[in-house]
């Protein structure tokens, strides 16, 4: 299944893609795509999707999950990205938080925050948790995943690296977490550790990678994080980015007003954001 949320910000409704790629309205079946819906996705698998109301036109697509509790991120999870950042390959996953208030729709504009001067891009695959998980095996961790989606881990490098403290401050401004367009359930993905990722800026390819080169694969990440905390339905884990970010270029390149960023992950769809001035 490919689940989504459509409508104006704060007024999104749940939807599902039919076999032809059209949006069908799920609001008569579930109230939203959130922690209340994710533990029981089997009830949606039995639906006759073609019988659901067809959503007309091309509505705005919102973040594919509502009311996210924890928005957890993994840093330096691709060896070649760690090298371009001038950092050692980690022996254990590097974890930090993004504020849930940073979530936005996959095609919403990204506003440059006041005082930002090093706005950077990162295409990532995100995990959405579907069952409570704590102290679990890798097999249990995989069974507890509701699905996957694209995350743009937008980053302000001055705030992340030059202002002291944790990375969270450079990762959490409004609009710094475009998520979606769809939540794709695991049965739709043959091998989550063999998906192509890409990111373009103004039509120029910046990032090309594959989940095959992750240092810590998805099952390990969920198991590792669940050893320290209880993961809940609707929690999001974004899993790191391949090489090609702006800060790794010579000279470094950062986003400015008017730039257009396009992201894609095999099987998970496409995002497009325009960068706008503060």
Q: For residues 121-157, b (16+ Cβ closer than 10 Å) or e, as one string?
A: bbbbbbbbbbbebeebeeebbeebbbbbbbbbbbbbb
Q: Would you state the pLDDT for residue 166?
A: 82
The answer to pTM > 0.85 is: yes
Kindly list the domain boundaries of the chain, sorted by start residue: 66-276
Q: Would you state the pLDDT for residue 89?
A: 84
Q: Would you state the pLDDT for residue 130?
A: 98
Q: How many residues does the chain have?
A: 278
Q: Would you state the pLDDT for residue 131?
A: 98
Residue-by-residue pLDDT tens, the chain, 278 positions: 999 999 999 999 999 999 999 999 999 999 999 999 999 999 999 899 999 999 999 999 999 999 999 999 999 899 877 777 777 888 999 999 999 999 999 999 999 999 999 999 999 999 999 999 999 999 999 999 999 999 999 999 999 999 987 899 999 999 999 999 999 999 999 999 999 999 999 999 999 999 999 999 999 999 999 999 999 999 999 999 999 999 999 999 999 999 999 999 999 999 999 999 98
Q: Would you state the pLDDT for residue 101?
A: 98
Q: Is 160 helix (H, G, I), strand (E, B) or coil?
A: helix
Percentage helix, strand, coil, to 5, in the chain?
20, 30, 50
Q: Would you state the pLDDT for residue 136?
A: 98
Q: Would you state the pLDDT for residue 81?
A: 78
As beta bridge partners, residue 16 has 3, 24
As beta bridge partners, residue 54 has 24
CB 111 within 8 A of CB 246: no
Q: Positive or negative CA dihedral for 85, 265, 160, 202? A: positive
Q: How far apart are the first and last CA of the chain?
A: 37
Q: Is 14 helix (H, G, I), strand (E, B) or coil?
A: strand
CATH of domain 66-276: 3.90.850.10
CA distance 136 to 158: 37
Q: Would you state the pLDDT for residue 149?
A: 98
């Amino acid at each position: 299944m490919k689940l989504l949320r459509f409508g104006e910000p704060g007024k999104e409704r749940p939807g599902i893609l039919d076999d032809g790629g059209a949006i069908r309205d799920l609001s008569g079946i579930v109230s939203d795509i959130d922690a209340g819906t994710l533990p029981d996705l089997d009830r949606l698998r039995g639906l006759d999707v073609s019988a659901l109301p067809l959503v007309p036109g091309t509505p705005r697509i919102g973040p594919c999950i509502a009311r996210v509790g924890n928005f957890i991120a993994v840093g330096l999870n691709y060896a070649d990205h760690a090298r371009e950042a001038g950092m050692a390959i980690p022996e254990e996953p590097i974890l930090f938080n993004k504020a849930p208030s940073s979530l936005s729709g996959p095609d919403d504009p990204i506003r440059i925050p006041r005082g930002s001067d090093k706005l950077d891009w990162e295409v990532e695959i995100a995990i959405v948790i579907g069952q409570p998980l704590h102290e679990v095996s890798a097999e249990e961790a995989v069974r507890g995943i509701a699905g996957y989606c694209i995350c743009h881990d937008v980053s302000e490098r001055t705030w992340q690296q030059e202002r002291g403290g944790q990375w969270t401050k450079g990762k959490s401004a409004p609009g710094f977490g475009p998520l979606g367009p769809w939540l794709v359930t695991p049965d739709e993905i043959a091998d989550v550790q063999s998906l192509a990722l890409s990111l373009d800026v103004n039509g120029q390819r910046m990032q090309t990678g594959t989940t095959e080169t992750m240092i810590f694969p998805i099952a390990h990440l969920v198991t590792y994080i669940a050893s320290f905390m209880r993961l809940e339905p609707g929690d999001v884990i974004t899993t790191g980015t391949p090489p090609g970010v702006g800060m790794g270029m010579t000279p470094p390149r950062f986003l400015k007003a008017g730039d257009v960023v396009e992201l894609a992950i095999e099987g998970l769809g496409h995002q497009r954001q325009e960068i706008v001035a503060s």
